[in-house]
Structure 1
């Protein structure tokens, strides 16, 4: 790794590589002028006003076809995040730009209400957190996710939430009302129980121990919560698989699942640089094991393979997972969210 690639405190990526749509691709060369001290990077937030807020997919790998992303980019800075390449569409880097140059959608709740009121709208589960975390730090000030949940409650619309943040506890008052109607499911994503490793992998996300506490808090308030071990990273985190399952079950997770690491597009070189910066002695081993499980590459986008991988190593992870979760049969219940309660509020209600 070049000396030009330096660690910025509180940030995941060690560089700011060009996006694939850039006209020119730059190569960093160490000329001896760079030193280890680098200035902290501040978070820049801009606004956009999209015409629509609901995105749709036809992926057979996912249990939902509709998603909402209140933000572009994610301040959590998870180095392995598969959503990083989306920043290239903005002409920004999937590296440090992804976690420092963020976009908010202040009209998201109004757009959602408008789209749900459409005559041809058919209710199906909406998912938040499929691309960037709805509870990343800037949500504390903008509260867009909370506004969206108010609309969900107004329409009795089912919602699935994926997050790494304990900030979700702030909205327990709304989530409890959704849970009473069987309209909400929360997935807490946990990658590792090692605080030191977590701070490097996902620098601005809640600590693993804090997330476990959030699981207990949500369960105690009658809000269905499960755990997604994501991603499982060979050599770095795979040895913790059973420990994470055990801790999650004891915290009260109603269901536990996992996703094997995948490194699409620019995420692959970003992750490789991160490895050589933080764990140079393990870097080659980690990357080789990922390729062993991704058909010789670092990403295999084919449906049926992209979430679990394939090959001996991926099969071993799957078998270990299946054996471990069998110890907790009470924690493997599935939740079916209701869609039959969906209704469009009377326009007269807008007067109040």
Structure 2
């Protein structure tokens, strides 16, 4: 399946030029040949951790397609390496490439907890659900060491503030104790991203994420202790995972999921070049077919930036996907719904403890 140039264990196969840089560089063949002869690596493959101290941590989301008003990302960049990730482009704002840099240079927001507490204590702040991982996964591998996400959840609990989260990592199970306390007062929703039921597909699309088995186990464990959990099948990529809608929704239903959502793949910004390069190395036998089908979903382009259509696509294939999800929900998730997040408690806990008078 893979071409000789494929880099195993990573999503992106190259660093594309940063659109904000005045200059760009490229790997010349003579340099690559020299490295091969000398037995040297042409590029650094290890993950680098970079400490940052932002001034704010809660972000207003202006897109009407996303379904959330505020997000919070404790990390920038993501070692999971999902090849299709829309967040890759945001790494360019930090001076890095949306390609390999995105999964190798991880920025850690060291003061995230302090900034969140400051926000929740503000007299002007009115409780509105804040979603962890609006951009990059809050449970990516380095969370095991830094535990920033766990501390953020404890802060949301302290101030009785509603929080949502989306992750591909089974590490969320570590925090079931905090999540149960939040769920007891309708203060949390958890979304688990499951793109495929096929482990081989997962391995090449999302190389450093939790296995499909572990994600399904996570859905089951969370739901078994009354933590509301839903699933995002995102993105749907034609001829890669588009045939799995019905069996996937059936499987997550049996694990206790309360709902399912989806998006259609769109390759915005630098991701078009990154994905095209990747698929020609990872799936050379079907690369042209997949890229052609993606273009058909977006009016002949790999990307559509228009609100209202960019997340669901257009045309016959997009209609078929929408219809399949409608049928799947009716068959396997009928009469299930997540409890509404509670925004009424926070005002009484703004100083970190309930007001008695």
Q: 1:295 deviation in Å?
A: 1.9
Pairing 1:346–2:346 present: no
Name 2:80's counterpart in structure 1: 76
Pairing 1:53–2:83 present: no
Name 2:184's counterpart in structure 1: 180
Conserved? CA contact 1:53–1:111, under 8 Å = yes
Name 1:311's counterpart in structure 2: 315
SS of match in other structure, 1:188 = strand
CA, structure 1 residues 141+346, in 2 after alignment: closer, same or farther (shift >3 Å)?
same
Name 1:42's counterpart in structure 2: 46
Separation in structure 2 between the aligned mates of residue 306 and residue 262 of structure 1, nearest angstrom: 7
Separation in structure 1 between the aligned mates of residue 219 and residue 36 of structure 2, nearest angstrom: 42
Q: 1:189 deviation in Å?
A: 0.4
Separation in structure 1 between the aligned mates of residue 183 and residue 40 of structure 2, nearest angstrom: 46
Query: Quick one: which of 145, 156, 160 aligns to 2:164?
Result: 160
Conserved? CA contact 2:228–2:338, under 8 Å = no
CA, structure 1 residues 42+155, in 2 after alignment: closer, same or farther (shift >3 Å)?
same
SS of match in other structure, 2:177 = helix
SS of match in other structure, 1:326 = helix
Query: Quick one: which of 127, 132, 136 aligns to 2:136?
Result: 132
Q: 1:226 deviation in Å?
A: 0.5
Tell me the number of residue pairs that the alignment of Structure 1 and Structure 2 aligns. Answer: 346
1:49-90 per-residue CA deviation (whole Å, 9 max, x = no partner) reads 011110002222232211000001000000000000111111
Conserved? CA contact 2:165–2:189, under 8 Å = yes
Separation in structure 1 between the aligned mates of residue 20 and residue 145 of structure 2, nearest angstrom: 32
Q: 1:193 deviation in Å?
A: 1.2
1:114-173 per-residue CA deviation (whole Å, 9 max, x = no partner) reads 111111111101001110000000000000001111110011111110000000000000
TM-score by length of 2: 0.92
Separation in structure 2 between the aligned mates of residue 340 and residue 19 of structure 1, nearest angstrom: 44
Conserved? CA contact 1:135–1:167, under 8 Å = yes
Name 1:274's counterpart in structure 2: 278
SS of match in other structure, 1:16 = coil
1:271-299 per-residue CA deviation (whole Å, 9 max, x = no partner) reads 00110001111111111111111122111
Conserved? CA contact 2:253–2:333, under 8 Å = no
Separation in structure 2 between the aligned mates of residue 138 and residue 348 of structure 1, nearest angstrom: 31
SS of match in other structure, 2:59 = strand
CA, structure 1 residues 332+259, in 2 after alignment: closer, same or farther (shift >3 Å)?
farther
Conserved? CA contact 2:158–2:352, under 8 Å = no
Query: Quick one: which of 203, 206, 213 aligns to 1:202?
Result: 206
Q: 1:7 deviation in Å?
A: 3.2
Separation in structure 2 between the aligned mates of residue 22 and residue 345 of structure 1, nearest angstrom: 44
TM-score by length of 1: 0.93
Separation in structure 1 between the aligned mates of residue 79 and residue 242 of structure 2, nearest angstrom: 25
* Unpaired segments ≥5 residues, structure 2: none
Name 1:15's counterpart in structure 2: 14
Of stretches 280-289 and 19-28 in structure 1, the one that deviates more from structure 2 is 19-28
Name 1:62's counterpart in structure 2: 66
SS of match in other structure, 1:89 = helix
Pairing 1:337–2:347 present: no
CA, structure 1 residues 120+289, in 2 after alignment: closer, same or farther (shift >3 Å)?
same
Q: 1:333 deviation in Å?
A: 1.5
Name 2:230's counterpart in structure 1: 226
1:82-117 per-residue CA deviation (whole Å, 9 max, x = no partner) reads 000111111111111100101101110111001111
